[in-house]
Each structure stands twice: as structure tokens, then as C-alpha cells.
Structure 1
Amino acid sequence: VADLSGKRYGEVLLVEITESGPQATVYNSFPLNDCPAELWSKLDPQALATENGAAAVLLNGPRYWLMNDIEKQAQGPRETKTFGGIEMIKQATVQLTSMNPAPYLANEVSRNTVFVFNAGEEIYELIDPDGHRWVMQTWSQVADPDLSRADLPGLAGRLDVPEGWTYAPRVLTETLRVDTTTRPAQVLQDNLTNSYSLEFD
């Protein structure tokens, strides 16, 4: 896959209620298309839920990748679905902490991937009170339709981070790999719905 950084996509989450709580099957438009704005803006979550026999549908996007590469072993044949004319690939299942995940609370995501951020790239991190680093994996135009990459270095002033958390840009001196091939990813969002992955030591 060519450099992903800055590529646009959208996700449709089909939610079902299971014994262990709400679970979502995540469909992603990447790399089939760039989630065309005119089609995306017409998607109706209730109609999509009815159409797909889901308890609810969550729309997540548009978003933009920040990593440079995603390494993923194919988990069997590729499953695709079309939502309102936008073709998407089934990517992951997510146990939702709730139907509206609160900012700065982690969800576990089974995605079997390695996210690669190249040396020399500027990354954007949340650092929690225990010193763990969470790297921004996608920036989002869900909460602020005008948010751009140029805004990210100075985003600290717009984030309502919990006590003891900090946000800062950092230029990588070596490649950063977030490897979740053999364990679930820990993913959270900030109050602008940008998403972050825990960097495992």
C-alpha cells in the first residue's frame, strides 16, 4: 500500500447487542474509494440499521489516516458491503464500552494489524498519567468539519484532556510500530473524535 498518511475514509459500524454488551462490525471505505462526500452526507443510520438487521448503525467519518503503512495478514476472503452507494470492506469487530463511547475511555479492537509511522514523521500523542503514550492514528472531521492536518500540532488548546493527561507533537527519530497482530488494540478518542492507539512497550 502506498503512503497512507492523509488518505480519507469513512466507516459504518453495524451494532448488535450481545451477552457481553454492544458489539460493532466495522466496515471501512479504504482503499476502495475516498468516501465521497455527496454519498456520505446522505447516509441514514436508521435506514441502514433496518436494511442490515442491526440494532443500530454508527457512522464514523470522514477521517484521515496518519500512519504511513498498515501491515495486515488477510483473515480469509475479503467481505464487502455497499452502504448508500459506498462500497466498504469488513475490517474489525469492536466491543463497545457503550453506544456513545465517551472521550478518553479505551475500547478494545480486534484488528490484527501493525500500524507503521515512519522515522522523521511528526506524530501527535496523548500521554496518560501512567506515562503511557497514545498515538493519533486518524484525525476526524466528525466534530469539526474543518479540522485539518495543519491544526494538529497546536491542538492541545482545544482538547479537554482529563487531569494528568497531556497532548504534544513529536518528531519520530525511529520508526514507530503499533503491533496488534496477536492482541487487541486499545483505542480511544479525544473530545474532537480524533482516534489514538496505545503504543505498547
Structure 2
Amino acid sequence: MLLVSAGPDGPQATVYNTYPLNDCRPELWSRLDAEALAKEHGALTALLNGPRYWLMDAIEKDMGDDREIATFGGLQMYRQAVVTLSSMNPPPYVPNTVARNAVFVFDAGRPVFELVDPDGAHWVMQTWSQIVDPALGYDDLPHLAARLTLPDGWSYRTRTLEDPLRVDTSSQAAQVLQDDLTNSYSLVADQT
């Protein structure tokens, strides 16, 4: 769930998710009304940013002792991050700045799914989404290149990690973008 408000540098979204509170029961999620939730929570708009599935093997994050929990249509969610949006409707393949203070860990020996931009920067898929294609599954991800409308100079690849991959944004903002199927990717600062 993203609650969008006016920020000092344009639109910003406060991000809430159910992890690790609950499994985001589909029957509750399907009944959420974005307009009603925006009004209830005093937001300009609410964006139903799911269903979404994590791909990393671990998340390291100091949430402190006083974690903010909000309830959306019966689903309890933790406040996880604030995203400075590039626009009210960010296009695919355009980065947004995310203050999430976390480390995403992808284990060695596991596949990762990446975008490589024209400058050679790697963007690792952090979540796959069923927003655009409700039937998209994990087994589809290695073959996603044929379905994406990549900008000139971009490529999509699958690779198996020889060493663990740590996307460390614990002390700096993350750069995150989405493809045209709304799968989300984090910029990998150290190219490996």
C-alpha cells in the first residue's frame, strides 16, 4: 500500500506492507478501495501496490521498538519506507528514490533477475508483481525478456550468484525502478 502526499520535492509515497505481520489474505486485499483508503488516511491518493512477492533471501533492517502499524481494510501493515516519486504516475524504467534503510540479501547459488541499463549499471529484481499480469509466476521470470518493452540500450538477464549479493541501502537512499509489468528492481551499487 502506498499513501501519496505532497512532499517538499514533489509527490512522495509512504510505503506499507504486510511482511512479516500476515500473509496478505487475497480475500481482504481484493476488497480494498483505494479512494476510500486515501480519504481515511488523509492522503492525496492511495495506490494498491500488489500482489507482490519478495525475491531476496533475507532483509536486514533495524525497525526499532516502536514500529508504526496501520490497518487497511482489515490488513495490518508496517510502515516500511518513503519513496520520492518521479511523478504522480512514474513511467517504467525511471528510478525513484526510496528511504528504506535496509539491506537486501540474495544468497549464493540462487538465480537473480536483472536489468542492465545503457551505462552498464545492474538493477536486481527485488519483487515480482501480479498487478499487470495476475498469472505471472516465479517460473516465468527467467524468460521475461521476451515480454518486456525495454528502452534502447537496456537488457534483461538471469544469472546464478557465485557469491552472496548484498544491496545495502542502510545508510543511503535506494534507487528503485519498475519494468512495464510493475516488477521492482534495486540499483546494485557494487557491480558484481
Question: TM-score, structure 1 length as denominator?
Answer: 0.93
Deviation of 1:73 (Å): 1.4
Q: Distance in 1 between matches of 2:145 and 2:63?
A: 37
- Could you list the per-position Cα deviations for residues 157-197 of structure 1 after superposition, in whole angstroms to 9, with x for gaps in the alignment? 00001000000100000000000011100000000000000
Structure 2 equivalent of residue 129 of structure 1: 118
Q: Distance in 1 between matches of 2:88 and 2:110?
A: 34
Deviation of 1:101 (Å): 1.2
> Structure 1 residue 192 and structure 2 residue 181: aligned?
yes
Q: Closer, same or farther in 2 for the Cα pair 1:164/1:118, shift >3 Å?
A: same
> Structure 1 residue 60 and structure 2 residue 61: aligned?
no
Structure 2 equivalent of residue 7 of structure 1: none
Displacement over 3 Å in runs of 4+? none
1:6-25 correspondence runs (5 A): 12-25=1-14
RMSD: 0.8
Residues paired across the two proteins, number: 190
Q: Distance in 1 between matches of 2:88 and 2:49?
A: 13
Deviation of 1:124 (Å): 0.4
- Could you list the per-position Cα deviations for residues 56-110 of structure 1 after superposition, in whole angstroms to 9, with x for gaps in the alignment? 1111000000000000012451110110000000001111111211000000000
Percent of pairs with identical residues: 62
Amino acid in the other structure paired with 2:158: P
Structure 2 equivalent of residue 82 of structure 1: 71
Q: Distance in 1 between matches of 2:122 and 2:23?
A: 29
SS at the partner of 1:167? Answer: strand
Deviation of 1:17 (Å): 1.1
Gaps of 5+ in 1: 1-11
